[in-house]
Amino acid sequence: MPTNRTLRRHPLLRQAVKLTLDLLLAGLAWAASERFLSVGSPIAWHLYAWVGLCGVVNLGFRLTRQQYRYIGFRDTLQLTAASLTLCLTALLLGHLTPDLEGALSFDTLVTASLATAVTWALARTFVRARYEGILQETAPDARQRTLIVGAGRAGLLVAQEIQRHPELGSQVIGYVDDAFDKQGILLQGVPVMGPSRLLRTLIADHRITQVVLAIPSASGAIIRRLREEAQATGVRIKTVPGISDLLGPRTWKPELRDVSIEDLLRREPIQLDQSALGSILEDATVLITGAGGSIGSELARQVAAFRPARLILLGRGENSLWEIERDLRALFPNQALSLELCDIRHTNRLRHVFERWRPQVVLHAAAHKHVPYLEAHPEEAVNNNIFGTERVLDAALAVGVHTFVNISTDKSVNPTNVLGASKHIAEGLVLRAARRAPAGAHYVSVRFGNVLGSRGSVIPIFRQQIQAGGPLTVTHPDMIRYFMTIPEASQLALQAGILGDTGKVYVLDMGEPVRIVDLATDMARLSGLVPGRDIEVKFTGIRPGEKLFEELFSAQEESRTDVHPKVLDAHLREPEDPLFEQGLDGLRLAMEEDEGRRQAQMLRWLRRLVPTYTPSALGLGRFAEENRDRRHSGANPVYLADGS
């Protein structure tokens, strides 16, 4: 007898076993029909003829190719069509051969056809029922009584997964859905019990122990409300991946997991202009700088979904490049990839990379971004964020790059730190390059705020602090930031950067700002902790270069909807050439100065290049003329890279 492993490895053998089973059932159906309906003794050739006819119909409708574990509506239609064909063919043959010895009776043919169809259907139903777990012996009292919020496609898939995997130890009791037309209906035998406003009542009345939030397209506000309603009853709460988690060839799967902070901050799914993006990215050579970083790596995943001719990952961190390369090869095995271990501050190396690959699209995500570190080492921000961007632009212009997207930050608006000032100047460099670019080229900057889960962001830090038992450290109770998920930021950056007009600075609609202390307490509650009782929240004070609130626009900038409903256009003026060049030259000379004078000169030229720059007195601003005496007296502490 062939084993399951043997059958899986040999499809033809598997089909032969299925055909043998169906013919055996057909033979039994005929024998039973003839036994009960015929007056005389059974005739052997009747049985052989019937089995032969069933074999022809079975093979003709390819019933052996059906996967019994996943038998569905289309398979049922196919089986019904085969059964009708079998019955009609048998009746026709019986009508055409009335004079044969032991002619086939009408009653026997009809009964045998129906019996064969029923036994074939029952065999398939039995296998499907076993796979779904319906026939599994599980103690009902030991299973989680599960209520699924969302009676759509996602909820149905969750219920099917729970039913076919009894090892999960769950039992679906019902659905909750706000759609009026779904109230009271049965979905594969499971009732829709009512709208979400009755969630607490339904949990209590039906002794629910687990709630699954199965609404992938729901916003964070909806997920938060439903979670709070369910959490108040003390039940376990699970959710499914959001639509924004989909990428490339992957399909949505009902993978149950705990509710995360990203779910609570989730916004409406982004609708991208896929055809327009595809027309530019498909079959193009795309180069991404900073490809190993949080934003750069996500941009690589998003771009790979459009099947570029080649994707070039450029960065200076070999470990991070290795990670994104491994990820991309798993997600997109047929995508042509090239890795370039390169620092954007090295002019010749950068020029060689661009001359070798001659990309049509460049996404520039390489930058230093850690505010306190750059306050302590401003020359690194200037060299990397300003002159590194200038070198990338020069290399791009030299090979005729058609589309250049510079990833910027909301910290460039009325900056109080070196990071913001350096990124503001980088935006000016892109505007200047747009004027020198070939006709029809697109050179733009895209500005957005904090992204959830990126390196150095508060989310991973809070997670580590919660695992360690606290405390949760927040700089200030009134600290507010805009947040966006990494996939959402990357998708909108692609939309704005690639489809926008050249010489523009686009700003992503970041939604409503979030208080950092609220973010910390939400994450504590998601872990089952009560802030102030189970874990301490500690305020550590504002760090050098930080401000309580980040703006998306300055007073001199306007905003209007363009390119995409969630993309705004900041009308940033192109810097005046003589003054801009003089400022860049001043920064180059300042970097050659000795300690103390170097910082003072860089501060002087940054202020000239960015008039809205208000340096932090705890950061680079301590080298300002008006703060010099205070710095030497110790009134303003000097912060080093280690935070001391």
Q: Mind spelling out the 3-state secondary structure of 208-265?
A: CCEEEECCCCCCHHHHHHHHHHHHCCCCEEEECCCHHHCCCCCCCCCCCEECCHHHHC
Rg (CA), the chain: 34
Q: Are 311 and 288 in contact (CB under 8 A)?
A: yes
Cα–Cα distance between 179 and 182 in angstroms, integer? Answer: 6
Of the two residues 342 and 161, the one the predictor is more confident about is 342
Residue 79 has pLDDT above 60, yes or no: yes
Q: Does some domain include residue 534?
A: no
Q: Does some domain include residue 583?
A: no
Return phi, psi of residue 59, to 5°.
Answer: -70, -35
Q: Does some domain include residue 356?
A: yes
Mean pLDDT, all residues of the chain: 81
The catalytic site residues sit at: 411
Give the per-residue pLDDT at 12. 76
Residue 392 has pLDDT above 70, yes or no: yes
Q: How confident is the model over 128-149, as pLDDT tens digits?
A: 777 665 555 545 555 789 999 9
Cα–Cα distance between 434 and 442 in angstroms, integer? Answer: 7
Residues 85 and 223 in one domain: no
- pLDDT confidence bin for 589, thresholds 50/70/90: very high
Q: How confident is the model over 103-121, as pLDDT tens digits?
A: 567 777 888 888 888 888 8
Tell me the Ramachandran region of residue 565: left when phi exceeds 0, alpha when psi lies from -120 to 50, beta otherwise: alpha
Residues 128 and 146 in one domain: no
Cα–Cα distance between 537 and 84 in angstroms, integer? Answer: 72
Average pLDDT over residues 1-21: 69
Could you tell me the residue range of the domain that residue 165 belongs to? Answer: 140-264
How many angstroms separate the Cα of 84 from the Cα of each of 234, 289, 300, 472, 535?
54, 63, 53, 69, 69
Cα–Cα distance between 591 and 584 in angstroms, integer? Answer: 11
Percentage, residues of the chain above pLDDT 70: 81
Structural tokens at position 203 = 């949990």
DSSP characters over 42-64: --HHHHHHHHHHHHHHHHHTTGG
Q: How confident is the model over 398-409, as pLDDT tens digits?
A: 999 999 999 998
Q: Are 379 and 418 in contact (CB under 8 A)?
A: no
Counted domains in the chain: 3
Q: How confident is the model over 513-569, as pLDDT tens digits?
A: 788 888 888 888 877 788 888 889 898 888 776 767 666 555 455 555 556 666 666
Beta-carbon count within 10 A of 93 CB:
13
Residues 169 and 119 in one domain: no
- pLDDT confidence bin for 640, thresholds 50/70/90: very low
User: Which CATH number characterizes residue 501's domain?
Assistant: 3.40.50.720
Q: Does some domain include residue 540?
A: no
Q: Are 129 and 70 in contact (CB under 8 A)?
A: no
Task: Describe the chain by its helix, strand, coil percentages, rounded to 5.
Answer: 50, 15, 35
Structural tokens at position 631 = 């710095």
Q: Which of 90-99, 270-279, 581-590 has the highest mean pLDDT?
A: 581-590
Residue 323 has pLDDT above 90, yes or no: yes
Q: Are 485 and 479 in contact (CB under 8 A)?
A: no
Structural tokens at position 619 = 């950061």
Q: Model pTM? A: 0.67
Sequence-distant (6+) residues with CB within 8 A of 323 are 292, 297
Q: Does some domain include residue 641?
A: no
Residues 339 and 371 in one domain: yes
Q: Which of 69, 103, 132 is the last residue of a domain?
A: 132
Q: Does some domain include residue 350?
A: yes
Give the per-residue pLDDT at 322. 94
Tell me the Ramachandran region of residue 623: left when phi exceeds 0, alpha when psi lies from -120 to 50, beta otherwise: alpha
Residue 642 has pLDDT above 50, yes or no: no
Sequence-distant (6+) residues with CB within 8 A of 446 are 405, 406, 407, 408, 492, 493, 496, 497, 505, 506, 507, 508
Measured in whole angstroms, the distance separating CA 299 from the mean position of its chain's CA atoms is 12
Residues 393 and 495 in one domain: yes
Residues 35 and 150 in one domain: no
Of the two residues 41 and 22, the one the predictor is more confident about is 22
Cα–Cα distance between 535 and 572 in angstroms, integer? Answer: 45
Q: How confident is the model over 250-277, as pLDDT tens digits?
A: 455 567 778 877 777 766 655 666 777 8
Structural tokens at position 101 = 């010895």
- pLDDT confidence bin for 502, thresholds 50/70/90: confident
- pLDDT confidence bin for 215, thresholds 50/70/90: confident
Q: Which of 132, 154, 171 is the last residue of a domain?
A: 132
Q: How confident is the model over 397-447, as pLDDT tens digits?
A: 999 999 999 999 888 888 889 999 999 999 999 999 998 898 889 999 988
Q: Are 391 and 366 in contact (CB under 8 A)?
A: no
Residues 361 and 438 in one domain: yes
Residue 454 has pLDDT above 90, yes or no: no
Give the per-residue pLDDT at 643. 38
Determine which of 74-78, 97-101, 221-225, 517-521 has the lowest per-residue pLDDT on average. Answer: 97-101
Of the two residues 268 and 26, the one the predictor is more confident about is 26
